[in-house]
Every structure is written in structure tokens, then in C-alpha cells.
Structure 1
Amino acid sequence: MAQSEFHYDRILQDYGRGIPCPPDFSFPSHVVDAWAKKQPDQPAIHWVSHDFARERVVSYAELAELSHRAAKVFEEAGLKKGDRVLIQLPRVVEFWPAIFGLMRIGAVPVPGTSLLVAKDLQFRAGVANAKAFVGDAESCGRFEEIQNSVGVERVFQVRTHGDKLGQGRVDFQQAVEKVPVGTRCEVPHQKTDLAILFFTSGTTGSPKMVLLEAEHLLGHTISGLWYRLKPGKLFLCMADLGWAKASYGSIGCFNMGATYFVQPPPPGTFTPTQLIDALHKYPIETLCCPPTIYRSLVTSSAKSYYRKNPPQALSHCVGAGEPLNASVIKEFRELTGGLEVKDGYGQSETVICVGNWEGVQVREGSMGKPGPFFQMGIIGQDGEELGVGQEGEIAIRTDEGGGACWIFKGYVKNGKIDKREKSHGGKTWYCTGDRGLRDDEGYFWFVGRDDDVITTSGYRVGPFEVESALKLHPAVAESAAVGSPDLQRGEVVKAFIILAEEYRDKVKPGSQEEKDLVLDIQNSFKRDTAPYKVPRELEFVKDLPKTVSGKIRRVELRELEKQRKADVLRQIKAKL
């Protein structure tokens, strides 16, 4: 049987040495405009309101046209090549004409999730030295609180739901509409020009600004291959537009000439029913979700709703943001009648560099195998490459291999560019800050962020393996494992657990039922995992601290435990 274009061996053959990038590469002109000529009427974006009452389909020709006119608006407002522009928009179509319009004139969009508050915007505007802001009425209102302090004069408001235009703001849609149809606005580009800036999600500290050059965006062709996209395919990525995952999603989608499905969440907290309805009503073939959403889909109530409203065309699912527990992969496969969630690994700083590709047998809990053009390794403290089965830092070769040009230029730190590299034995590595190991068949396994690894009685324990083992118990919906200070062991493993819905009303704090459940979870854990990894302390909570992109902030839980233990120690000393 002939291999499909998405098969791992075929991808390695076709893309193993990289993707040719023109010296003057610009994503809007070389990708968006190219597809607009080749398939002008093909939908690029399919937008649906949260209640399914309204729809808007934007073709590749219209997307190219709107972004050229937006570029003219920005140019006439005085923005120029190199200027950084903060963007905070909900899931609306105007996001893409805005970022592509900025790219056309060489300005650099700096997207931020809609969850950012005024203080977050102030931090980002200061670090990025922003010259303008693009938002809806709500985010423009937040930005107004700090606008004077960051010295930004130009504010463009995208009108949604009939919102009134704020004083001193430019009406984005009206300004674009006034630009004559057929206007072309583009400045000369180089593939090494800064194209977009993202801030890391800040799982272990303050967010860092990530510098991404134009050729990085072409590298998301590999992300599109991981999604198995091509013209005519409808793709849903459950990512807020300010998160780098939206770049993986939409940029990867547009590289392949496919259609990006966009739907804002309903008011209030996320419920899996809206996602299930979207899959049921529309021919969405590929779905990309963070682990939190896949976990919500395998709850008892969601399973029942899913079976009553099966997907219309879903054939490929991928996970992103954090590793997905093996037990959730199994439950989802049973629910969907055989669909496997293909896990993958990448960062705000990279494209997809490890993944479960077509033709690669899924090893549940593994991130998969290195993507084409990436030379991946596990390195030690001094940059030395470690052998099979040895835990170390996940790293990417930057001195050779096509992958080097798809990695970020660096972080901005104290006015200097820092890339976290180590050299050893003639090899130079980009250090991801994530820990993992490689098995004898080339699969990579995630252990945790370097700062998240727990050391207890001399043993090193990765939080992900603890959380995966806990997820095997039916009472555990989600958990976070951290090291809690202990005088004898240095640290003990502690788990914060969100109970599954059917257990929440049955277990009262301090009750005998709670004590019995703790013991049952620990005993269940011991049957599946080494005893030294057993959480000696369990705490049931209603929610877990997360970044705006949905990743668990274990650093907050560690600091909470340090403070608690310090308070207890002080109380003991006071009594002596």
C-alpha cells in the first residue's frame, strides 16, 4: 500500500533536510497570497458564534485582501518596520487580518490571551516596547488603565457585538473598509526579520518574551503535517488566540491551505458539550486540544452526551500543551471507537519537534519520535549527550540539522538576547528546560519541567508520572504533584486532586469517607507504580492554579507548601 503524504517515513524523506525558504520570505505574501491565487474561493477561516446562531466564512482571497488593507491602515497610522504591537482579541476573524497586516509592513504583532489583566498588559507592553495596541472593547478598556504609563498612543478597537467606540480609538473595521479594494501594501522583507513575539506561559516564573523570525512560521508546515491537513480539510484547534498554540494551529493550517474552524467559548466556564456539538454539526476532521479538555471529554456525563451526538467527520486527534495521561488516551479510544490521541512536543520557542506521526505506533504516555529536520537528544548538566534510558534535559541540536532555523532567536533578558545553549564534544544544544528520556527505539518520554522534578529520599520523581498513575483511579479527575518540604526525606510527594464529579458530593473534608478514599487512592497507586513515588500527602481541591494557556503552575503549589511547612515549624518552635 502506498504511503500517505502524512506518513512518518514519507515526511522524513520529503522534509528531512528542511523546507526551502526564500531569502525575502514573508508569511502573508509567500503563503496567504500564494493560496489566494491558487484557490481563491477556498475557505481559510470558518467562524461560528458560541451559540451556533451566526457564521462567517472567509476565503483565502478575502483574507489576503483584508490583510493588505489592514496593512495600509497601520502604515497610515505611522507604524513602521520593527514596531511592536500588542494584540488582545477574543476568537474573532479580525485577528488574522490584523496580524498579517502588521507583518506586511514589517511591524511585529505581540499576541496576548484574552485572560490577561491590565497588570499583565503593562508588563508585556514594557518588555516589548509596544508602539500600539489592538483589542476589542473589553481589552481596550483594560489597556486604557495602563496606557499612559507605557506611553502607547495608537489604539485600534475591533468592534464586536455592537460595542461603542472608545474615545481616542481607531475603529479597525471601519478604517479597513475605507481602504480601496485592490490596495496592496507590502514592504521588503528578509526571512530573518522578526515576524511575531510571544510570551511564555510562565509555568515556573515570570513570562519571557520569545523572538520568532519570519522563517519560523514556514517551519509550522511540519505542524500542519502532524495535523494531517490539506486543502478542503476543516481543522479545530482549541486555543485562545493569544497563546502560541494558536500560531501552531492557524499558521500550520494556512501553510497547508486548509480551513481553520474558530468558535468563541460560551460565557462562563468551559463545558465539553459545546465542543461535542461543534464536532457533531460541522465536518471537522482534525481536533487539537490540551489535556484538560480531553480529560473533560472522558467524564461520565460528557461520554453520555458524546454518544448521543457523535462527530460528523472526526478522524484525527492530537494533544498539546502538556503530556496526556495514558489512561485518558485509552478512555478516549474506547469512547470514539478507535481514535487515538496523538501526543506531540513543542514549545513557544519551536515548532512541533517530537510527535506521534502517521506510521509511528503510539506508545501511550510517550511524546513520540523526533520530527523531520530536528536532531533531538537528552543531555546532562554539562551538555554531554546521555544514553538510552537516562533521564536528562530534552535538547535540540543548533549547530547542524535543518531544525536550527525554526527555533526562536532567543529571549530578551536585561536588554540582551539569551538562548539557553550548551556545547559539549563539538555539539551545541538548545536547552528546553524540560526533562525526559529516550528509549531504545527512539521514543521520547516527558518527565517534567526541570524545576518541577521532586527529590525524595534521594529518588528523583517526575510529577507527570505521579499524575498519570493517580488518573487511573476513578475518583481522580485531575491532579498536580509537587515536592513538599520534609525534615527526614528532604521532600515528600504531595498531590493536589480535583475529584471526579460523581465523588465530589460524597466526600466531606475531615470525614471518614475522605480518609478511606485517600488510603484507597494510595493503595491503587502502589499497584501500578514504584512505592517511592506514592504521594504521602493528598489534598482534595476544587481547582488548580494554571497559566493562561491552561498549564498547571506547580510553582505556586510548591511555594504554598513551603509556606505551610514553615508556619508549622514556627508554631512548634514557639511551643518549645
Structure 2
Amino acid sequence: MASEFSYDAIHARYGDGIPCPPDYSFPTHVIDRWAREQPDRPAIHWVSHDFKKERIMSYRELADASNKAAKAFQDKGLKKGDRALIQLPRVCEWFVAVLGLWRIGAVASPSTSLLVSKDLKFRAEVAKAKAFIGDHESCGRFEEISSTVGISLIFQVRTDDDGGLGAGRVDFQDALSKVPDGTKCEAPGGHNSTDLVILFFTSGTTGAPKMVLLEAEYLVGHTITGLWYQAKPGTLVLCMADLGWAKGTYGGAGAFSMGATVFLQPPPPGNFTPTHLINALHRYPIETLCAPPTIYRSLVTSSARAYLKKNPLKALRHCVGAGEPLNASVIKEWREITGNLTIRDGWGMSETVIAVGNFEGVEVSSMGKPAPFFQMGIVGHNGEELRDGEEGELAIRTDKGAGSCWIFKGYVKNGKVDKRQKSHGGKTWFCTGDRGMRDADGYYWFVGRDDDVITSSGYRIGPFEVESALKTHPAVVESAAVGSPDLSRGEVVKAFVILSDEYRDKVLGKKDKEKDLILDMQNHFKKMTAPYKVPREIEFVDTLPKTVSGKIRRIELRDLEKQRKADIVKQQKAKL
């Protein structure tokens, strides 16, 4: 019997697509629906980073609180179309605030907690924001630039780490407490499925972040995200994303769409540790885990394996990966460690919902197949569709199917909207900037961001393929491959590698042993894939530059290599 989360079951359930009412509003059509059908079932299960405090918010409580937030925003002058920046840690109030904004037709612009004042200034100016919502720390950060951007309306959410209410700020919880229970608050003019609801900013892997316009109908598409999560009423879902990332919205909207429960926990002070995540999976009946490749790679290290053996998983049955492609070796190792859990990779962007993925009933391979109702393709420079096996740009068809409604409406660039579309042969495509190919069985394979592809001696080499081959060596925890300038080849493959603890202690700082390990890695690499892809240069590093959403910024490493090679040329000329 086919699973209810398989392609066939999804199409049998929804037919040719999921309808979107013309007056669609996520709070009213999703949250209020579950508040009627299962009022006492948890919508959010919050746990403090030290596991000492818990808070459970039911769907009825979430619906009521978000109505109160809507009234509080309205009373302070916010109205339909106004934009508000949000920078909050993982607290229930993030969802309360966002849903409250949507109820009055206002637009939320989430910001990750890692952003500093200049980042907030950039976003506030580009988004033309009217308000800011944060905790004590982020409000203080924003106030450094608030007068510059002309925003005086600042809501402060009180948290456990609160430092007191700052002067001139609106106490968010106090404002809600003054609104009577049972209050209903919606946009006076009603809602429209084409109303703007979210302004995301891209993670900036190759340049400055771009503002992404998303309308209310986009949120309907997160039903597919929820199905990819295999979520349903009673399922506890943990998405390991800062709420300021697009993936944070994926996690919440996907779970809520299916009536599931969001497990929310702030990270411990300092850097992420796999033991903290294992503790959560050991203590709570979390059934679905969504995490980026970086986290899954940390879970298969020898120290994490040992800790997991002492603290077995309580209820985990389904794992998905997103953010960047996941190495096949990690999927294999995780299956061996857990006994039966397969990580189902998926592909989406700040501009989309899950558009390609490994759904139930399909053999896990590559980044998967098109998500239900999406029409995908690999296109050339002019938008022409390429044949199977040919490398090109990964594209989503926008003149029909899910791509016509479940993706962004464009980037804002110099005051104009750029949809980044190409038309050819009667088809219109959103060109994503990701390189890939489709095989004869309909699976899509990721090559890399367009700017990240390495060209060496005429060969085009995707960094992900290099990194995946390197990951099979026991010394490699994580790596980043880039093109390094070379006079004879144009570029050579250069790999920056983070070593496992065992190898780091034995090798680093010892030139002969480092040289021997590099040679061993290169010989191992040649057994895994074509020799022309072998990294001719390998450098051991402690960290890799990443965006706030955890994606590797290969552009920084490329620029570093360009500068290094330019300096060498200057030194050589100076000696002449």
C-alpha cells in the first residue's frame, strides 16, 4: 500500500493542484482552521536551550494571540501593505508577530539573529520598513541606525535573557495583554491571494543580498513542504533553522499546514554541538528532523556516534536535508548509524517552496525529482530546454503549474522588479542560477551555483562533486572546492578542508605528515571519480566562510585565491 506521502497519494488527494481561494490568508485559512478542528492540540512546543523550561502553545492559543498581536499592531498605526523587520531568537512570539502582521495585511521581513546594525540598515532601507520587532538585544542593535532609516516604532519581545524594556519601545507582551480575549482582527479591506506577505533577502552566496517578493498564495505551496516532512496532526517537527532564514518559514508553514507541532528550541550559547541536538532527539518525541548538510555531517563523526549510542533517538522516523546538496556518503553513514533512517534531500530557495525533492516511494537519488505540481527543466543561455544528460541552468516553468503561484514575484533591483525569466518555444522559465542536469530517469543532479563552477583545461567541474568525493575520506569533516587561477589551465581545483579531530591532532603543523595526507586524499579521490577533477591544491582550515543561512561562500575563497596568486606574480616581477 502506497504511503499517504508518496507522489501518487499526493496527486490522488489533490488532483492537478492545491486550490488557492481568492481571499487566501494563512492565519485565517490554516491557523484558524486547526484552532476549530483541534483547538487543544499543540501548535508550538518550546524548550529552553538548557532543557529546564518548556512552553506549549495550542492552536487555539496561537490563533487568539495572533489576533491580539494584529490589534496591537493596528492600534500603533500599522496597516495593510506596511512592512516590518523582525529579528527574534527562537521564541513563540516570532510566530505570533508574523501571523499578527499577516492578519492586518502587513508584510513581514524576517532577519536572522546573526545580522548586525549595518545589515539591518540595508534591509530596512530596501524594504522601506515602518516598524521593527525584536528582543532586548536586537532592539538595541536596531536603535543604532533607527533614526537614520526613520523608524521609531519598535516592539520589544521580552525573553528569558531580557535586559529590561528600552526607552521608547513598545512592550509586545504588555500590548497583547491589553487586548480582550476572543478579539478578532483582520485587514479592514479583506485579503487577496496576491497580497504581498513576505520580504526575504537572499543569503548572498555570490554578492549582496537581493530582496525577494512573496505573495500570500506562495504559502499554499508549503502544504507540499509539510508533505515532504511527512507531517500530520500530532507529528512533532524540528526544523534546525534560525527563524530569520527562509527555511525557518518553510519549517513553520510546512508543519502548520498539516496541523502538526513545531518543536522550537534556541541553540546553546556558543557554537552548535551535535550533542545538544542528540539530547533533544533523545528526550522528546520528535518524529521529523529537517537540517542542513553541515549538521548531518556533524552527526556522523565518531564522537557524535558514541554519544548517540548512549543517548538513543526517542521517536525520530523521518529525516530531510536542505540548504545545500547532501553528500551521498553522509546519507549512507546516517542510515548505518540509525539502522533505518534515510535522509531525503530536497531543493528549494528563498524564492520558492520545496521544488525538487526525494519524496516517499521514490528511490533516494541525487537532489530528487520535481515536487508535486512543479514543472522543472534544464535550460540553456536563451531559455531553450536541454536534453537529458546535458548540463545547464536549473529552471522552474512559470507559465503553468506550481511555478505560476508558489514562487516569488521577482527581485527588487534599483527600484525595479526583476523576475529573472526567459521564454523559449512557448515556455517561460524562472532561471535559478543553479547549474544542474537531469538524467534519463527524471532525477535532477546539482552541479553548483553558476558562479561556483570551476573551468580547468576546458573541463567544467562542479564543486559539490569534488566535495562529495573528498567527504568519503575518513579525515574530511567538511570541504569547499573552488577554482584557483592557473596560467596553463585557466583554473585548478583547490580544496579547503576541515579535518576530523583525530587527523587534526596527528597532522596539523607537521609539514611531512600534511604532505602525506594530501597525497593520500588525492589518491583516494581518483578512486571515487574522474582524475581531472582531483584537487591539485589542498589547504587545511579550521572554518569555512558561510552565509547567515549556513551556505558556503565560495566567492570569498575564490577571491582569496585570486589575491594570493596576484601577490605571487607581483613578488616574482619584483625579483626580475
The interval holding the TM-score normalised by the smaller chain is: over 0.9
Distance in 2 (alpha carbons) for counterparts of 1:234 and 1:167: 39
Distance in 1 (alpha carbons) for counterparts of 2:107 and 2:17: 25
Distance in 2 (alpha carbons) for counterparts of 1:324 and 1:4: 24
- Contact 1:16-1:373 within 8 A present in 2 as well: no
Q: How does 1:312-461 map to 2 (within 5 A)?
A: 312-363=314-365, 366-461=366-461
| AA of the residue aligned to 1:163 | G
Structure 1 residue 206 corresponds to structure 2 residue 208:
yes
Distance in 1 (alpha carbons) for counterparts of 2:258 and 2:403: 19
Structure 1 residue 155 corresponds to structure 2 residue 154:
yes
| AA of the residue aligned to 1:214 | A
Tell me the residue number matched to 2:239: 237
| AA of the residue aligned to 2:472 | L
Distance in 2 (alpha carbons) for counterparts of 1:166 and 1:509: 49
Distance in 2 (alpha carbons) for counterparts of 1:128 and 1:135: 17
Q: What do the CA deviations read for 1:150-196 (whole angstroms, capped 9, x no partner)? A: 11010000011243000110000111111111111101110000011
Tell me the residue number matched to 1:465: 465
- Residue 350 of structure 1 and its aligned partner are, at CA, apart by 0.6
The DSSP-based 3-state class of the residue aligned with 2:429 is strand
Tell me the residue number matched to 1:94: 93
| AA of the residue aligned to 1:450 | D
- Contact 2:3-2:361 within 8 A present in 1 as well: no
The DSSP-based 3-state class of the residue aligned with 1:367 is coil
Counterpart selection for 1:273 from 264, 272, 275 = 275
- Contact 1:194-1:214 within 8 A present in 2 as well: yes
| AA of the residue aligned to 2:131 | A
Q: What do the CA deviations read for 1:507-554 (whole angstroms, capped 9, x no partner)? A: 133510000001000010011111110000000000000000100000
Q: What do the CA deviations read for 1:372-403 (whole angstroms, capped 9, x no partner)? A: 11000001111110111111000011112233
TM-score of the superposed pair, with normalisation by structure 2: 0.99
Distance in 2 (alpha carbons) for counterparts of 1:375 and 1:14: 19
- Residue 256 of structure 1 and its aligned partner are, at CA, apart by 0.3
Tell me the residue number matched to 1:224: 226
Distance in 1 (alpha carbons) for counterparts of 2:90 and 2:504: 33
- Residue 338 of structure 1 and its aligned partner are, at CA, apart by 1.6
| AA of the residue aligned to 1:325 | N
| AA of the residue aligned to 1:219 | G
Tell me the residue number matched to 2:487: 487
| AA of the residue aligned to 2:544 | L
The DSSP-based 3-state class of the residue aligned with 1:96 is helix
The DSSP-based 3-state class of the residue aligned with 2:249 is helix
Distance in 2 (alpha carbons) for counterparts of 1:85 and 1:129: 9
Identity %: 73
Tell me the residue number matched to 1:44: 43
Distance in 2 (alpha carbons) for counterparts of 1:423 and 1:460: 26
| AA of the residue aligned to 2:377 | G
- Contact 1:378-1:437 within 8 A present in 2 as well: yes
Tell me the residue number matched to 1:69: 68
- Contact 2:240-2:291 within 8 A present in 1 as well: yes
The DSSP-based 3-state class of the residue aligned with 2:423 is strand
Q: What do the CA deviations read for 1:226-269 (whole angstroms, capped 9, x no partner)? A: 00000011000000000000111110100000000000000011
**Count of aligned pairs:** 573
- Contact 1:16-1:372 within 8 A present in 2 as well: no
Distance in 2 (alpha carbons) for counterparts of 1:150 and 1:16: 48
- Contact 1:287-1:314 within 8 A present in 2 as well: yes
The DSSP-based 3-state class of the residue aligned with 1:217 is helix
- Residue 574 of structure 1 and its aligned partner are, at CA, apart by 1.2
Tell me the residue number matched to 1:124: 123
Deviates more, 1:329-338 or 1:6-15: 6-15
The DSSP-based 3-state class of the residue aligned with 1:402 is helix
Distance in 2 (alpha carbons) for counterparts of 1:196 and 1:393: 26
| AA of the residue aligned to 2:17 | G
- Residue 4 of structure 1 and its aligned partner are, at CA, apart by 2.3
| AA of the residue aligned to 2:253 | I
- Contact 1:298-1:332 within 8 A present in 2 as well: yes
User: Gaps (5+ residues) in structure 2?
Assistant: none
Distance in 1 (alpha carbons) for counterparts of 2:486 and 2:150: 48
Distance in 1 (alpha carbons) for counterparts of 2:387 and 2:297: 33
Distance in 1 (alpha carbons) for counterparts of 2:373 and 2:509: 52
Structure 1 residue 83 corresponds to structure 2 residue 63:
no
Deviates more, 1:147-156 or 1:6-15: 6-15
The DSSP-based 3-state class of the residue aligned with 2:144 is helix
| AA of the residue aligned to 1:324 | L
